[in-house]
Amino acid sequence: MNTAESSPVTLDLTWRKSSYSGAEGGDCVEVAAGTGSVHIRDSKAVTGPLVKVSREAWTDFVEHA
């Protein structure tokens, strides 16, 4: 199941964004692998909502992108 939730400040994740993202920011997303799920957020609103998907769903997305 995929869910949207507020990004808790205490969530201990290592966030990564594309190396194609410039220093100015821009329209980017960041991803972080959690236990059993992948978290996705807007890099311009790091304390805003995030989307959490299963690792399987993320793998399917990446394979088809």
pLDDT for the residue numbered 18: 77
Give the residue numbers spanning the domain of 46. Answer: 29-65
Cβ neighbours for 31, distance < 8 A, ≥ 6 positions apart? 15, 16, 17, 38, 39, 40, 58
pLDDT for the residue numbered 10: 42
- Residue by residue, pLDDT tens for the chain (65 residues) are 455 555 554 468 899 987 777 666 667 889 999 889 999 998 888 888 999 999 999 999 999 98
Residue 52 lies in a domain: yes
Residue 56 lies in a domain: yes
Does pTM top 0.85 for this prediction?
no
Nearest-angstrom CA–CA distance, 64 and 44: 26
Residue 60 lies in a domain: yes
Residue 41: HSE in the Cβ half-sphere, 13 Å Cα cutoff: 21
Residue 35 lies in a domain: yes
Residue 38 lies in a domain: yes
pLDDT for the residue numbered 11: 63
Instruction: Give the count of domains, the chain.
Output: 1
